[in-house]
Amino acid sequence: MENLLNLTNQLKLKFNKLELLQQALVHRSYLNEHPDFHLGHNERLEFLGDAVLEIIVTEYLYTRFPNESEGVMTDWRASLVNAKTLAEVAITLGLENYLYLSKGEAKDKNTKARQYILANSVESVIGAIYLDQGLEVAKIFITDHIISKFDHILANALYQDPKSKFQEKAQEIYNITPHYEVLRESGPDHDKTFEVGAYIKDKLVAKGTGSSKHEAQVDAASKSLQANNW
């Protein structure tokens, strides 16, 4: 529990029930190796925190942009609550150092699975804050650590999915729609890795990788935007 007190200092929060914060950090895999652990995993808190996060972000966008359409606000909200953004928040807050993980999961860093674990931990911590401190304190936490990223996202159009943005720029500059080709597949059927090339006409702009063709295309589009300084 002493380590958790260090975390509460980092989060600038004082929990009435510190076990709520502890449970928010327990991944299901940890219980497979420690079945007698006195707390359950964090998935119920994650479920609650996801709902709290969505309503607070939605209220913020609805209030700040009274004339914007729901379609645009949906894209903006997605940019704030997606796994990539939330995983970055988890790293900034240092949550990774406090997670209860199995030995396998603890070693498996820098993967898509770890990104989701980190993102889910932010949602479960929000759920714990909500139960322990109420909606207003949860709102302050979300505003300080998540909504605070929105102006940067908006200014840099980071809410646009990379494939859409790459297509938009290619059409604007070259009047051409880019296309993608699978260059290589590796790994067993249950754990494949795809390498995909993004092309403008016959020119290979960038390569991307992913665990699905779509994920590899998004990665290739993102790298194409960087390569062209778009």
Catalytic, 219? Answer: no
C-alpha–C-alpha distance, residues 52 and 73, integer Å: 17
Q: 203 by DSSP, 3-state: which? A: strand
Q: Which two tokens stand for residue 140?
A: 């302050």
C-alpha–C-alpha distance, residues 128 and 63, integer Å: 26
**50, 105, 132, 219: which is the annotated catalytic residue?**
50
pLDDT digits (tens, 9 = 90+) for 162-188: 888 899 899 999 999 999 999 999 988
Rama region for 160: left / alpha / beta (φ>0; ψ in -120 to 50; rest):
beta
Residue carrying structure tokens 């928010």: 24
Catalytic, 50? Answer: yes
| Residues sharing a CB contact under 8 Å with residue 144, sequence separation 6 or more, in sequence order | none
Domain check: are 144 and 67 in the same one?
yes
**46, 105, 123, 132: which is the annotated catalytic residue?**
123
Q: Which of 108, 128, 155 is the last residue of a domain?
A: 155
- pLDDT given for residue 2 in this prediction: 56
pLDDT tens digits for the chain (230 residues)?
A: 558 899 999 899 999 999 999 999 999 999 999 999 999 999 999 999 999 999 999 999 999 999 999 988 998 999 999 998 999 999 999 999 999 999 888 887 767 788 899 999 999 999 999 999 999 999 999 999 999 999 999 988 788 788 888 998 999 999 999 999 999 999 888 778 999 999 999 999 999 998 889 889 999 999 999 999 88
Q: 205 by DSSP, 3-state: which? A: strand
- pLDDT given for residue 165 in this prediction: 85
- pLDDT given for residue 188 in this prediction: 85
Q: 196 has which bridge partners? A: 182, 208
| Residues sharing a CB contact under 8 Å with residue 68, sequence separation 6 or more, in sequence order | 61
Domain check: are 77 and 149 in the same one?
yes
pLDDT digits (tens, 9 = 90+) for 61-88: 999 999 999 988 998 999 999 998 999 9
- pLDDT given for residue 168 in this prediction: 87
Q: Which of 94, 129, 155 is the last residue of a domain?
A: 155
Domain check: are 167 and 199 in the same one?
yes
C-alpha–C-alpha distance, residues 94 and 7, integer Å: 8
C-alpha–C-alpha distance, residues 219 and 207, integer Å: 8
Q: How many domains does the chain have?
A: 2
- pLDDT given for residue 1 in this prediction: 57
Global pTM value: 0.77
Domain check: are 16 and 84 in the same one?
yes
- pLDDT given for residue 159 in this prediction: 85
Domain check: are 205 and 97 in the same one?
no
C-alpha–C-alpha distance, residues 26 and 41, integer Å: 5
CATH number of the domain where residue 131 is located: 1.10.1520.10
Cα pseudo-dihedral 51, 57, 59, 63, rounded to 10? -170
Give percent of the chain above pLDDT 90. Answer: 76
Domain check: are 50 and 111 in the same one?
yes
Domain check: are 148 and 175 in the same one?
no
Q: Which two tokens stand for residue 101?
A: 């993980």
- pLDDT given for residue 155 in this prediction: 87
Residue ranges making up the domain that contains 211: 162-227
Domain check: are 27 and 79 in the same one?
yes
Domain check: are 66 and 18 in the same one?
yes
- pLDDT given for residue 65 in this prediction: 96
CATH number of the domain where residue 186 is located: 3.30.160.20
C-alpha–C-alpha distance, residues 121 and 125, integer Å: 6
Q: Which two tokens stand for residue 48?
A: 């609650």
